[in-house]
Structure 1
Amino acid sequence: MIELQGLTKRFGEKVAVDHLTFTVRPGIVTGFLGPNGAGKSTTMRMMLGLDNPTAGDVRIDGKRYAELKEPLKEIGALLDAQAVHGGRTAYNHLLCLAQANRIPRSRVGEVLEAVGLTPVARKRPKGFSLGMGQRLGIAAALLGDPRILMFDEPVNGLDPEGIRWIRNLMQSLAAQGRTVFVSSHLMSEMALTAEHLVVIGQGKLLADTSMADFIARNSRSFVRVRTPEPERMRDVLAAAGIEARTAGDGSFEVTGSTAADLGELAARERLVLHELSPQQASLEEAFMGLTAQAVEYHAREAGEPPTPTAGAPVEQAPAWGEQWRREHGPERSGDGEGV
C-alpha cells in the first residue's frame, strides 16, 4: 500500500504538487491521470525518494522509501525505460540490479523470459526499439518480486500485442493481491486496465474514486430512443414526466430513466421502437470534462483564432479575433481564392 499525506513540492514560486492526500490500495489496478504539467511525474518521483517533498509524507507499506533496506523487493518501478547503462547487455543490466539487492541470479533469466527478451538478453539496450526498452524496464520492476509496482506510461512504444500483454500483466499482479499504480495518457487503455482512478490537475487532487463512479459523475449518460412515431413518442414521454431532447438524427436522448423502464413504457403504449440503447461517455470524455480548467498547455484548435499578444489590452481581443477570421476564416482557402 502507498500512502500520501499532504504531499507538496515547490520549485521556486511554482507549486508542482499541492497537498496531495490519497492511498493506493492492494488488489486493484489504480490509474493515475492528469494533464501534462499536472505533477504526476513529480509525485511518482517523490514516492520513490528521487525528489524530496517540500512538505508532507509518503509511506510504502508504512515506511519511507529511504528506510527500505532492499527496495527492489518492496517496490518495483518503471519511470524512465531509457535509464540504463549503454555499455551493459540487458542481462548484465538486470544482474547488477539483482546483486545490489541480494536477489538470486536465477531471477534475471526468469524476468527476461516473462517480458519476452530472452533472445536479446546478451545484446546492449542502446540498440533496442522503444518497445523493447519498455519491456526491459518492466523486467527491472519485476526483478525483486515486489508487493508494490509503479508504472509510468508503460505502453509507450509497445505494439498491440505488447499493449495487451502489459494490460493482462498488471491485472494479474493486482489479482495476486499486489498494489499496482499506473500513469498513462492512453485513455482507451486505462479504461480497460484500471478499476480505480486518482486524477490530479495543477498539482491538486481532483478525483479519487472508482472508474465507474468517475465516468458517471463527470459525463452525461442517457438512453437513445428511436421510433417511427416520434411525435407520439414525445407525447408519451411528456405525459410520463420524462425529460428528453431530440437529437440531430431524429432520435430522443432520454435522461433520468433506464432502458428497461422506457421499453416497458413503449410496450404499454404499443409504440414500435427501432432503437433503445443506453449511452455513456468514454473515460476520455469524462476526463476532459473534469480537467478542462486544469490544462496548463492548451493548443489552439483548427479554426480557433489565436490568443492576443501577451500584454495587449483585453478590449482588443474581439477585434483581434475578427481580423483573424477575415484573413483565415472558412470562407477563404489557403491560396486566397474564395471557396
Structure 2
Amino acid sequence: MIELKGLTKHYGDKVAVDQLTFTVRPGIVTGFLGPNGAGKSTTMRMVLGLDNPTAGSVRIDGKHYRQLKDPLTYVGALLDAKAMHGGRSAANHLLCLAQSNGIPRARVDEVLDLVGLTSVVKKRSRGFSLGMGQRLGIAAALLGNPRILMFDEPVNGLDPEGIHWIRHVMKRLAAQGRTVFVSSHLMSEMALTAEHLVVIGKGRLLADTSMAEFIQENSRSYVRLRSPERERLLDVLHRAGVRAVAGPDGALEVDGVPAERLGELAAAQRVVLHELSPQQASLEEAFMQLTAGVVEYHARNGGGPAAGRRGPSRPAVPERALSVGPPPGSWGTGRQRKRS
C-alpha cells in the first residue's frame, strides 16, 4: 500500500500540499484527481522521494522509498515521459535501469514488445514522438514487474488504440492484486478506468471514495419522463405522492423515485410513455461541482482565430501485446526473489 499521513509541502509561502492523509490500496485502480495546481504531481514526487515533505510522512509497504532495496521491483512510476537521456536508444535506456536494480536483461525485451516499441529499440529517444516517449515511459514503469504502479497522465500523446490498451493494462495490473495509482485530467477516461477516487484541491483532500459514491454525492440523479398524455401522467404521479417538475422539451423530471416504480404507476393507469430514463451526471460534471471553489487557474472564454489550430501528428506505434507479464516475483527467467 501507499500510506500518506499529514503530508505537507511548502515552497516558501506557497502551500502546495496541505495535511494530506489517505491510503492507496491494492487490487483496484485509484484515480488521483484535482485541478491544475492542486498538488497532484508534488504529492507523487514525495511518494518517490524526489521531494522532501515539510511535514507528515509517506510510506510504501511501511517503508520510505529510499529504504527500498531495488526499488523498481517495488514501485514502477511514470511521472515524466521525457525524463530520459535523449542520446540513448530505447533498449539502452531500459537496460541501464534494469542493471541498476538487478533485473534480468530478458525483461527489457519483454516490456519493449509489450508496449509496441520492438521495431525502434535501437532508435535514440530524442527522435521519439510524444506517444512513443509515453510508451517507453510505461515500459520503464513495468520493467521491474513491480507490485505498485504510479502513472501521471499515462494517456498523454497516445492514439485511441493506445488509450484503450493502457486502460486495460491498468485494470489487469489491479486484477493481479497490484496497487495502481493514476492521475489524469481526462475525466472520460478516468470514469472508465478507476474504481476509487482521491480528489484534492489547493493541496487539501476533498474526497476519498468510490467512483459511484463520488458521482452520487456530487451531482443530481433523477428520472426523465415524456408522454403524449402529459396531464394524465401528472395526475397519476400527484395521486401517488410523487412530485414532478417540468424539464426541457415538455418532459417531466422526478427526484428520489426509482424508474421502475414510475413505470409501474404509468402502466397501472395505461398512460403511454415515450421516455422513461434514469439520468445521472458524468464524472466530469461531479468533479466540476466539487472543485468549483478551489480552481486556481481560470481561463477566459473565446480566443483568437488560431485557438483551435493543431499541427500534424506523427503516427503511433501499433499495439502488439495484450498481457502485462506474470504476477510479481515470478518472471521465470533470471534471478528469483523471495519477499516476506
Normalising by the residue count of structure 2, what TM-score does the alignment of the two structures yield? 0.88
Query: Equivalents in 2 of 1:202, 1:99: separation in Å?
Result: 39
Deviations 1:43-84 (A, max 9, x none): 000000000000000010110001111110000000000001
RMSD of the TM alignment (CA)? 1.0
Deviations 1:179-218 (A, max 9, x none): 0000000000000000000000000000000001100000
The amino acid that maps onto 1:151 is F
Question: Which of 1 and 2 has greater Rg?
Answer: 1
The amino acid that maps onto 1:4 is L
The amino acid that maps onto 2:182 is V
Partner of 1:7: 7
Matched, 1:158 2:158: yes
Query: Equivalents in 2 of 1:81, 1:220: separation in Å?
Result: 38
Matched, 1:137 2:137: yes
Identity of aligned residues (%): 77
Query: Equivalents in 1 of 2:206, 2:81: separation in Å?
Result: 28
Partner of 1:108: 108
Q: How much has 1:269 moved relative to structure 2?
A: 1.6
Q: How much has 1:104 moved relative to structure 2?
A: 0.7
Mapping 1:8-47, distance limit 5 Å: 8-47=8-47
Unaligned runs of 5+ in 2: 304-340
Partner of 2:261: 261
Q: Secondary structure at the match of 2:248?
A: coil
Q: Secondary structure at the match of 1:216?
A: helix
Deviations 1:270-327 (A, max 9, x none): 1111110111110000000000001000112359xxxxxxxxxxxxxxxxxxxxxxxx
Q: How much has 1:235 moved relative to structure 2?
A: 1.9
The amino acid that maps onto 2:24 is V
Deviations 1:223-281 (A, max 9, x none): 11010011121222222221221112001111110110000010112111111011111
Q: Is the CA contact 1:243–1:256 (under 8 Å) kept in the aligned structure 2?
A: no
Q: What is the aligned length?
A: 303
Partner of 2:290: 290
Taking structure 1 as reference, are residues 253 and 16 closer, same or farther at Cα in structure 2, changes over 3 Å only?
Answer: same
Partner of 1:194: 194
Q: Secondary structure at the match of 2:76?
A: strand
The amino acid that maps onto 1:113 is D
Partner of 2:168: 168
Mapping 1:1-339, distance limit 5 Å: 1-302=1-302
The amino acid that maps onto 1:162 is G
Query: Equivalents in 2 of 1:155, 1:8: separation in Å?
Result: 28
Query: Equivalents in 1 of 2:239, 2:299: separation in Å?
Result: 46
Q: Is the CA contact 1:112–1:139 (under 8 Å) kept in the aligned structure 2?
A: yes
Q: Is the CA contact 1:242–1:256 (under 8 Å) kept in the aligned structure 2?
A: no
Query: Equivalents in 1 of 2:53, 2:244: separation in Å?
Result: 50
Q: Is the CA contact 1:28–1:196 (under 8 Å) kept in the aligned structure 2?
A: yes
The amino acid that maps onto 1:296 is E
The amino acid that maps onto 2:220 is R
Q: Is the CA contact 1:200–1:207 (under 8 Å) kept in the aligned structure 2?
A: yes
Query: Equivalents in 2 of 1:81, 1:218: separation in Å?
Result: 33
Q: How much has 1:14 moved relative to structure 2?
A: 1.0
Q: Secondary structure at the match of 1:238?
A: helix
Query: Equivalents in 2 of 1:100, 1:169: separation in Å?
Result: 25
Q: Is the CA contact 1:90–1:121 (under 8 Å) kept in the aligned structure 2?
A: yes
Q: Is the CA contact 1:5–1:58 (under 8 Å) kept in the aligned structure 2?
A: yes
Q: Which runs of 4+ in 1 moved over 6 A?
A: none
Query: Equivalents in 1 of 2:136, 2:154: separation in Å?
Result: 11
The amino acid that maps onto 1:95 is L
Q: Secondary structure at the match of 2:208?
A: strand
Deviations 1:83-114 (A, max 9, x none): 01011100000000000111111110000011
Query: Equivalents in 1 of 2:269, 2:175: separation in Å?
Result: 48
Query: Equivalents in 1 of 2:270, 2:127: separation in Å?
Result: 68
**Greater helix fraction, Structure 1 or Structure 2:** 1
The amino acid that maps onto 1:216 is Q
Query: Equivalents in 1 of 2:270, 2:171: separation in Å?
Result: 46
Query: Equivalents in 2 of 1:82, 1:64: separation in Å?
Result: 25
Q: Secondary structure at the match of 1:188?
A: helix
Unaligned runs of 5+ in 1: 304-339
Structure with more contact order per residue of length (Cα contacts < 8 Å, sep ≥ 6): 2
